């Protein structure tokens, strides 16, 4: 079992958060209230795909890549949308 926020292994799952990605129950967990809150923020501001937990990436700062790290033309950076958010957004245009 791995926490989807801090990526600690062998956690005692505290919250099932799979529904944020429309995943089935018992597949996506966080280990604590803190991880739940932090991951929820990332999902809401749509940056969860850029989250780089220290457990995997270490504390070292990555060297910026000129092609991927320059500001996007929209000046908002890449956004990672969950299936659910995508469908919700789609709903706005279908009314």
48 makes contact with Zn ion (CB under 5 A): no
6 makes contact with Zn ion (CB under 5 A): yes
Query: Residue 48's closest CA among 38, 56, 60?
Result: 38
53, 20 Cβ separation under 8 angstroms: no
**Helix, strand, coil percent values for the chain (each to nearest 5):** 35, 5, 55
36 makes contact with Zn ion (CB under 5 A): no
Minimal distance in Å, beta carbon 35 to Zn ion? 3
CA 32 to chain centre: 16
CA 28 to chain centre: 11
28 makes contact with Zn ion (CB under 5 A): no
Stretch that binds Zn ion, among 1-9, 38-46, 51-59, 71-79 (CB under 5 A): 1-9
The smaller minimum CB distance to Zn ion, of residues 6 and 28, is found at: 6
Q: Which positions lie near Zn ion, rule CB under 5 A?
A: 3, 5-6, 31, 35
């Amino acid at each position: 079992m791995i926490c989807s926020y801090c990526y600690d292994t062998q956690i005692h799952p505290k919250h099932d958060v799979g529904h944020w990605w429309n995943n089935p129950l018992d597949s996506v967990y966080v280990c604590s209230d803190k991880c739940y809150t932090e991951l929820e923020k990332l999902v809401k501001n749509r940056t969860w795909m850029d989250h780089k937990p220290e457990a995997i990436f270490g504390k070292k700062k990555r060297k910026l890549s000129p092609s991927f790290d320059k500001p996007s033309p929209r000046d908002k950076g890449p956004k990672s949308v969950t299936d659910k958010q995508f469908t919700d957004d789609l709903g706005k245009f279908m009314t």
